[in-house]
Amino acid sequence: MGQYFSKKTIVRLTADIAYRAIILNPHLGENAVKETEGVVLIDEIDMHLHPKWQQSIINDLKTTFPKIQFIITTHSPFIIQSLKSNELISLDSEITDDPYTKSIPDIVEDEMNLEEVQRSKKFLKMQSVASEYFNLIKSGKNSTNDEQIKILKIQLDKLELEFNNDPVFVALMKAERRTELP
């Protein structure tokens, strides 16, 4: 359904622009689509478009309507990646490099101001918790204070709960804990 909807939407959009070019400029005859000048505003062009179509939609519109200026909003790194720096205005940062030379993660981090997009937030959180876990083990490795070790073990128990859906990792954590702590 989604792909059908996107094809239908693009056909409607293109037909609407062509129809208006022909109606507004009958004197251009069969060249109306190629010769009509104007400005077309499109909000969120990436909505309902498959990423493959997002990569080419801007170029397709510019090729089909060469004298029309398109002002388009998007939240898609695929749309941004299809542009040159002089075709892009960011409200958040200055664009200095051509986005078409960048990877999707680079665009998301540099132009869209998101951090650590190579991994999910959940993965990064788990990585942080795991790091904290192993740092706690390291800090308690040479401890002889029974009260400190008891507090440390409570903290480690809480951190292990973060990984309760990954039994292999929990087993690894417990094995490390057994070999390193008194």
Judge whether residue 4 has pLDDT over 50. no
- 140-177 tens-digit pLDDT: 777 777 787 788 878 888 888 877 788 888 888 888 87
- Of residues 163 and 32, which shows the higher confidence score? 32
H helical segments located in 25-90: 32-35, 51-54, 57-64, 77-81
Sort residue 65 into left (φ over 0), alpha (ψ -120 to 50) or beta.
beta
Most confident range (mean pLDDT) of 10-14, 15-19, 173-177 is 15-19
Judge whether residue 35 has pLDDT over 80. yes
- Of residues 65 and 9, which shows the higher confidence score? 65
The amino acid present at 63, given as its one-letter code, is T
Find the mean pLDDT for residues 68-77.
93
- 93-123 tens-digit pLDDT: 777 788 888 888 888 877 887 776 666 777 7
Looking at residue 3, its pLDDT comes to 47
Joined together, the tokens standing for residue 41 give 């505003």
Angle made by CA atoms 1, 57, 100, in degrees to the nearest 5:
125
Distances from the Cα of 145 to the Cαs of 16, 75, 98, 121, 133, in angstroms?
77, 54, 59, 36, 19
d(CA 106, CA 32): 40
Contacts of 89 (CB under 8 A, 6+ apart): 95
Regarding pTM above 0.85, the answer is no
Joined together, the tokens standing for residue 95 give 């664009």
Looking at residue 128, its pLDDT comes to 83
Q: Residue with structure tokens 């958040």?
A: 92
d(CA 104, CA 46): 15
Q: In residues, how long is the chain?
A: 182
Spatial contact of 97 and 69, defined as CB atoms under 8 Å apart:
no
